[in-house]
Amino acid sequence: MSTALTRREFAAFAGASLLARPAFAQTDALLTRAIPSSGERVPVVGLGTASVFDVVGEATRGKAKAVIQALVANGGRIIDTASTYGDAEVVVGDEMAASNLRDRIFIATKLESPDAAEPQRSLSRLKTKTVDLLQLHNVQRSNQSLAQFRAWKSQGICRYIGVTSTYHRDFPAVEAVLRREKPDFVQVDYSIDVRDAEKRILPLAADVKAGVLTALPLGHGRLFRAVRGQAIPDWATGFAGSWAQFFLKYLLGDSRVSAVIPGTGDPKHMLDNLGAMRGRLPDAAERAKMVSFVEAL
């Protein structure tokens, strides 16, 4: 949909008490998952930067500083960006350098092609010698190769390689590349109301031992708009302290999901999202009930 309802706008309709109930205790164990190809563990909630940090300016820099500080201070590590997200790499790189946070962040970026100049541009913008994850962005053709990405990995430019797509029409190409190239990660559009990836991408990712990052896990505001004016169901309050946690924990209830990467420019929302790393996850029966609830909205 073209008009997204932000959590701030949602709160104006629903009241703050419906938006964020008390968070889970900070003493609750922090949920991490192992990257299938290496066993390295990463926190399961990260930060997406598309349409969030795409313009350099004092306001954007201030948001980035507050959000990234909130992420790191509360157990998060993953920041996902791209060479095509405007100036997001610059904004993230400036804050990592200014706050000396590079060693505490798992930085992932994306390139549109295996052009030799592209990773150097991203490294320069991110102010780092290496990235953790380098992804081929928006896979469109089944014959696309990751040979150059593997070469960059062997050269130490990145530690992991991956592929991405948020276009379901391109899932056949993504599947073909996953089967043949067996990357470390795949990133796809996946939310409680857009579940195509459950049947197509997640089983294949598990077969080839690829970690899964979920883009658009909050559905571009669709989900907040759908629950406007409603409280979290009583049966969900044992595992979700807010609607954001409800939506994110549905995804994390599938053990094949390595991490969710919702985007935000608000540190309060970052903290809310990070709450999905604490407390228990919904079981299979509860996840089915969550889907039925959303489908009935």
Domain locations along the chain: 7-295
Written as one string, the DSSP assignment of the chain is: --SPPPHHHHHHHH-HHHHBPPPPPTTSPPPEEE-TTT--EEESB-EE-TTTS-S-SHHHHHHHHHHHHHHHHTT--EEE--TTSTTHHHHHHHHHHHTT-GGG-EEEEEESS--THHHHHHHHHHT-S-EEEEEE-S---TT---HHHHHHHHTTSEEEEEEEE--GGGHHHHHHHHHHH--SEEEEE-BTTB-HHHHHHHHHHHHHT-EEEEESTTGGGHHHHHTTT-PPPGGGTTT-SBHHHHHHHHHHTSTT--EE--B-S-HHHHHHHHGGGSSPPP-HHHHHHHHHHHHT-
CATH placement of domain 7-295: 3.20.20.100
Q: Over 90: is that where the pLDDT of 291 sits?
A: yes
Q: Band of the pLDDT at 114, cuts 50, 70, 90? A: confident
pLDDT of residue 16: 35
Average pLDDT over all residues of the chain: 92
More confident residue, 18 or 150: 150
pLDDT of residue 7: 57
Query: What predicted TM-score, i.e. pTM, was given to this entire model?
Result: 0.91
Distance of alpha carbon 182 from alpha carbon 46, whole angstroms? 23
Instruction: Give per-residue pLDDT as tens, 257-266.
Output: 999 999 999 9
